[in-house]
């Protein structure tokens, strides 16, 4: 899975390279179709990423 957390857009692929290409394509399509207002609304200036452990079962 590939993710652009700044815009909350994700994609996937069978390999890392394919996932990156698919994310790039998804971002290009978003910017082609989105209004400037939508970009402003979705854009997160601060993004925090962390790992969590969750007990299952």
In order of 25, 34, 53, the CA distances from 9 in angstroms are: 11, 13, 24
Instruction: Establish if 57 belongs to a structural domain.
Output: no
Q: Is residue 54 part of a domain?
A: no
User: Would 36 be classed as within a structural domain?
Assistant: yes
Note down the domain range covering 37.
2-42
pLDDT for 48: 92
Question: What is the pLDDT at residue 29?
Answer: 97
Which of the 8 DSSP states describes residue 11?
E
The CB-side HSE value for 7 (13 A sphere, CA atoms) comes to: 20
- pTM reported for the whole predicted model: 0.81
In a domain, 12, yes or no: yes
- Residues 4-52: pLDDT tens digits? 999 999 999 999 999 999 999 999 999 999 999 999 999 999 999 999 9
Is residue 53 domain-resident? no
How many structural domains comprise the chain?
1
| Tokens 């998804």 -> residue | 26
Q: What is the pLDDT of residue 15?
A: 97
Question: Which DSSP state fits 45?
Answer: S
């Amino acid at each position: 899975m590939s993710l652009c957390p700044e815009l909350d857009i994700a994609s996937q692929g069978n390999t890392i390279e394919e996932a990156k290409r698919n994310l790039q394509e998804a971002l290009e399509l978003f910017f082609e179709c989105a209004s400037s207002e939508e970009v402003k609304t979705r854009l997160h200036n601060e993004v925090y990423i962390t790992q969590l452990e969750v007990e299952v079962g």
